[in-house]
Amino acid sequence: MPTKKTATIGEYLIQRLHAHGVRHVFGIPGDYVLGFYEQLRRSPLQTINMCDEQGAGFAADAYARVKGLGAVCVTYCVGGLKVANTTAEAFAEKSPVIVISGAPGVKEREKNPLLHHKVRDFDTQKKVFEQLTVASTVLDDPQTAFQEIDRVINAALRYKRPAYIELPRDLVAAPGHPHYQPRTAPETSNPGTLRAALAEAVQMINAARQPVILADVELHRFGLQPALLRLAQKTNIPVAATLLGKSVIGEHHPFYLGVYEGAMGREEVRRYVEASDCVILLGAFMTDINLGIFTARLDPARSIYATSEKLSIRYHNYEEARFQDFLQGLLRAKLRRRAAGRWPHPPRLVPSAGAHVTAPITVQGLFEHLNAFLADDTVVVCDVGEALFGAADLYIHRGTDFLGPAYYASMGFAVPAGIGVQLANPRARPLVLVGDGAFQMTGMELSGALRYGLDPIVVVLNNRGYGTERPMQDGPYNDLQPWNFHRVPEVLGGGRGFLVRTEKELAEALAAAAKHRGSFCLIEVQLDPNDHSPALQRLTQRLAKKI
């Protein structure tokens, strides 16, 4: 898309989104943003209407996780404040989403009239988003608008966090600065700091008896998975992933250990990582869930901790050493290649032979079947709850094929995220795993799958309530109104529904779903409310102690 010399503010924003790879904008229009929607309609970007702004926010987040940048476009306050939660998730889990909100025009704001959708002041929504984004702006000055657009988008890309752009409606079609050149913000490491950091890291890794890499989500966000792979291949140092970073490395690699989650995860992975005298944490978030509710025993004196925001080796902090440069430096450095050691490998989940196929399906049985069902084009998209914890043990084929809100943990992510994933990567077939509770929040966003010709396979884990919470503390507040989930296609006017109560029915439904292309499949799996995955049992035992 060529940069027009006489672009308007709205057109320039569209050009920059397009230049950074965005092809779809999720949202719902309103009068304050209709002018911009019309500009979008005349542009190469496709607008994707969702049922609710929250769905649009989750879809844009997933799109950003797959494609590197996403955008959600809403109207003032009534729409904007509905994406506060999804923007918070994108911030917490590092997903660069540009939140675009229409707003009253600059002229309309004079004398502070009570215009519809206004909360308290005209800048109330902007103030909220200052807390939820890495950069924010109101494009109320045509002289600086283009520069502001670049500043905010560059910040989102640099920090992999959301950013906020507010468009007063009377300036969307105003021309910006005519001779402005688009700006990016190249960044470099301080060579001295980088050299010192690499020297200490190389010495520590080479001297270590049992080094191990703990790989997390930032490797994916910064496109550094190939570098991780090369580092492991070059040194023969095994790699464990966190739950948030799961699938950052293809799980079939011989040096892949499995998911490390402190006492929540598999015992042999925990023992191997915690016995290491040099844990190389790459792009890791030290969150409670990633660390098994702080049951992880990782000693800073034995750690190299490298992220886009911090680099520390043992107790030394190195400023101005970029994560990317540090990792590339390790690839160039003289790191000792080790003999292939003996370390644990993730067990392949397989459906237990001779299972009582007509017996009720269990959580364990469900994940065994799902595991066998994964194909090279599957992207597993999980919601909070049993879906996420059970999926930790799925054996993901290639890199980056697992998405789940494993830190901020907002319910309602998965169904709209499945839509974002498939639009970002049309070759992918999303396998959406979602609890009945989470489905009741955003499941109707499947409507968008029909409208835009997408065909995710959605598995609803129907355990009749908020299963995750029952072992912590149970009561009628954990129950749900039972829905006939498998009949949702009738309401939406398309797609296929399946009701599954046994292993046999599950195997049949999955086989039929694999063959059915062109519209979504919804597989409702009825589970015993008291049946939990081992990971969830371990987690809730720990959380219950804190309540």
Going by the DSSP 8-state scheme, the letter that residue 532 receives in this structure is -
Question: Of the candidates 89, 150, 436, 455, which one interacts with ligand TPP according to CB under 6 A?
Answer: 436
Nearest-approach distance from CB 409 to Mg ion, in angstroms: 14
Q: Alpha-carbon distance 376 to 398, whole Å?
A: 7
As measured in angstroms, the least distance from the Cβ of 83 to ligand TPP is 14
Does 463 help bind ligand TPP (rule: CB under 6 A)?
yes
**Cβ at position 236, least distance to ligand TPP in Å:** 39
Question: Per-residue contact track with Mg ion, 451 to 470, x per CB under 5 A?
Answer: ------------x---x---
Q: Is 489 in the site for Mg ion (CB under 5 A)?
A: no
Piece of the chain touching ligand TPP by CB under 6 A; list 182-190, 203-211, 247-255, 460-468: 460-468
CB of 417 to Mg ion, least distance (A): 18
Report how far residue 290's alpha carbon sits from residue 268's, in angstroms, rounded to the nearest whole number.
16
Residue 353 burial class via C-beta count within 10 angstroms: exposed 0-12, middle 13-18, buried 19 and up: exposed
CB of residue 468 vs ligand TPP: minimum separation in angstroms?
A: 3
Q: Would you say 386 and 467 are in contact if contact means Cβ atoms under 8 Å apart?
A: yes
Task: Examine residue 436 and tell whether it contacts Mg ion (CB under 5 A).
Answer: yes
**Buried b vs exposed e over 466-478: b needs ≥16 C-beta within 10 Å?**
bbbbbbbeeeeeb
x-or-dash string of contact with ligand TPP, 383-402, rule CB under 6 A: -xxx----------------
Among 437, 443, 448, 495, binds ligand TPP (CB under 6 A): 437
Interface characters, 400-419, with ligand TPP (x: CB under 6 A):
---------xxxx-------
Nearer residue to ligand TPP within complex by CB, 447 or 540:
540
d(C-alpha 277, C-alpha 26), whole Å: 47
Q: What tokens does 399 get?
A: 């890199």
- By a kind-dependent CB cut-off of 5 to 8 A, residue 265 interacts, out of ligand TPP, Mg ion, none, with none
Report the nearest approach of Mg ion to the CB of residue 289 (Å): 18
Residue with smaller CB distance to Mg ion, 52 or 436: 436
Q: Which is nearer to ligand TPP, 313 or 409 (CB)?
A: 409
CA distances 308 to 130, 456, 481, 483, Å, are 21, 33, 44, 44
Spell out where 169-263 has E strands.
Answer: 211-215, 239-241, 256-259
Q: If we measure between CA atoms, which residue out of 13, 77, 63 comes closest to residue 425?
A: 63
**Alpha-carbon distance 77 to 98, whole Å?**
16
Closest CA relative to residue 326, chosen from 282, 289, 385: 282
Binding site for ligand TPP (CB under 6 A): 384-386, 409-412, 435-438, 461, 463, 466-469
